[in-house]
């Protein structure tokens, strides 16, 4: 029995270094892929290493997130780059990218993420305030707004105002976001094309002197006119839906969204009152 237990302990002790050695080799492969600018490979290999992040030291883990974040940024995926840079700051909030071997654009982007992250961390601290009731002093904890998520929601609104759906795409890359964006672009494009076509058909109809031919040209003009209106009505509907959906149904932003919701109250002898708060 003792020999059996000794064998088990020996096997367990041997597996640990082997796994560690495999992780080190995988990390070397990741660094090599990063050096060769194989960013798709970097993302894939880094994701596998992150699944076993307990096997790495803090400096190694930071380096893995750094390479993965740079790879995402280089492939124009700022959302994933931001997520990986935040993971670095969770490990070491004072971390700085080395400007000697990192693109200035990436360094600037990382510093913006870092500043917002540090602000959000400060915002999660309860800030005491004094409220005076006659001669009694009561200390009340006041929750400061989460600045990071407020910034993301405002950025989403700005994008959505110009092209409905792009705000959703900024917050989350999913089918709904892409569908809203595609429909918005399609409707505004169709509207512009039908404006041109309507004006052309109108000129042809007004210049036609043959009564029989004029009837056909009028039908063509009327069709383009209706399609133009339908395209812009569709765009307006998508625009309104996009704003309301961002305002009331954005997942993960509820604490911030509540501050944008109008306040509806019933006052005796005065009816309903509606107030809307705008933060400058």
Neighbours of 136 (CB within 10 A): 7
Q: Which fold has domain 22-123?
A: 1.25.40
Looking at 74-88, 124-138, 143-157, which range is the least confident one?
A: 124-138
Q: How far apart are CA 142 and CA 157, in angstroms?
A: 27
Q: For 91-100, write each residue's pLDDT tens digit.
A: 998 999 988 8
Q: Can you state the angle between helices 211-249 and 175-207, rounded to 10 degrees?
A: 160
Instruction: Look at residues 147, 174, 179, 166 and name the one whose alpha carbon lies nearest to residue 256.
Output: 147
Q: Which of the two residues, 215 and 259, has the higher pLDDT score?
A: 215
Which band of pLDDT confidence, cut at 50, 70 and 90, is reported for residue 80?
very high
pLDDT at 225 over 80: yes
Q: What angle do CA 128, 133, 134 make, to 5 degrees?
A: 140
Percent of the chain at pLDDT > 90 equals 26
Q: For 143-193, write each residue's pLDDT tens digit.
A: 444 566 677 778 887 888 888 888 888 888 788 889 888 998 999 999 899
Which band of pLDDT confidence, cut at 50, 70 and 90, is reported for residue 124?
low
* pLDDT attached to residue 144: 45
HEC per residue, the chain: CHHHHHHHHHHHHHHHHHHHHHHHHHHHHHHHHHHCCCHHHHHHHHHHHHCCHHHCCHHHHHHHHHHHHHHHHHCCCHHHHHHHHHHHHHHCCCCCCCCCCCCHHHHHHHHHHHHHHHHHHHHCCCEEEEEEECCEEEEEEECCCCHHHHHHHHHHHHHHHHCCCHHHHHHCCCHHHHHHHHHHHHHHHHHHHHHHHHHHHHHHHHHCCCHHHHHHHHHHHHHHHHHHHHHHHHHHHHHHHHHHHHHHHCCCCHHHHHHHCCEEEEECCCEEEEECCCCC
Neighbours of 100 (CB within 10 A): 5
Q: For 238-266, write each residue's pLDDT tens digit.
A: 889 888 888 776 654 444 444 444 454 55
* pLDDT attached to residue 86: 94
Whether pTM > 0.95 for this model: the answer is: no
Residue appearing with tokens 């409905």: 164
The full set of domain ranges for the chain reads 22-123, 147-275
């Amino acid at each position: 029995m003792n020999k059996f237990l000794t064998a088990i302990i020996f096997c367990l002790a041997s597996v640990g270094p082997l796994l560690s050695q495999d992780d080190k080799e995988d990390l070397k492969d990741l660094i090599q892929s990063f050096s060769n600018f194989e960013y798709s490979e970097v993302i894939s290999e880094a994701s596998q290493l992150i699944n076993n992040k307990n096997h790495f030291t803090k400096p190694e883990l930071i380096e893995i997130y750094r390479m993965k974040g740079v790879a995402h940024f280089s492939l124009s995926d700022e959302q994933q780059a931001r997520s990986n840079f935040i993971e670095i700051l969770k490990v070491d909030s004072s971390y700085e990218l080395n400007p000697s071997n990192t693109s200035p654009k990436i360094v600037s982007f990382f510093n913006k993420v870092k500043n917002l992250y540090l602000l959000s961390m400060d915002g999660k601290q309860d800030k005491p305030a004094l409220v005076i009731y006659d001669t009694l002093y009561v200390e009340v904890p006041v929750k400061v707004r989460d600045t990071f998520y407020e910034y993301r929601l405002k950025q989403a609104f700005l994008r959505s105002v110009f092209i409905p759906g792009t705000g959703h795409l900024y917050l989350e890359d999913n089918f709904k976001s892409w569908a809203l964006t595609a429909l918005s672009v399609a409707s505004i494009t169709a509207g512009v094309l039908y404006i041109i076509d309507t004006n052309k058909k109108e000129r042809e109809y007004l210049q036609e002197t043959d009564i029989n031919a004029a009837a056909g040209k009028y039908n063509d003009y009327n069709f383009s006119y209706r399609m133009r209106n339908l395209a812009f009505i569709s765009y307006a509907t998508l625009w309104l839906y996009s704003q309301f959906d961002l305002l009331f149904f954005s997942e993960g932003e509820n604490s911030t969204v509540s501050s944008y919701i109008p306040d509806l109250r019933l006052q005796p002898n005065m009816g309903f009152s509606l107030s809307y708060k705008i933060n400058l």
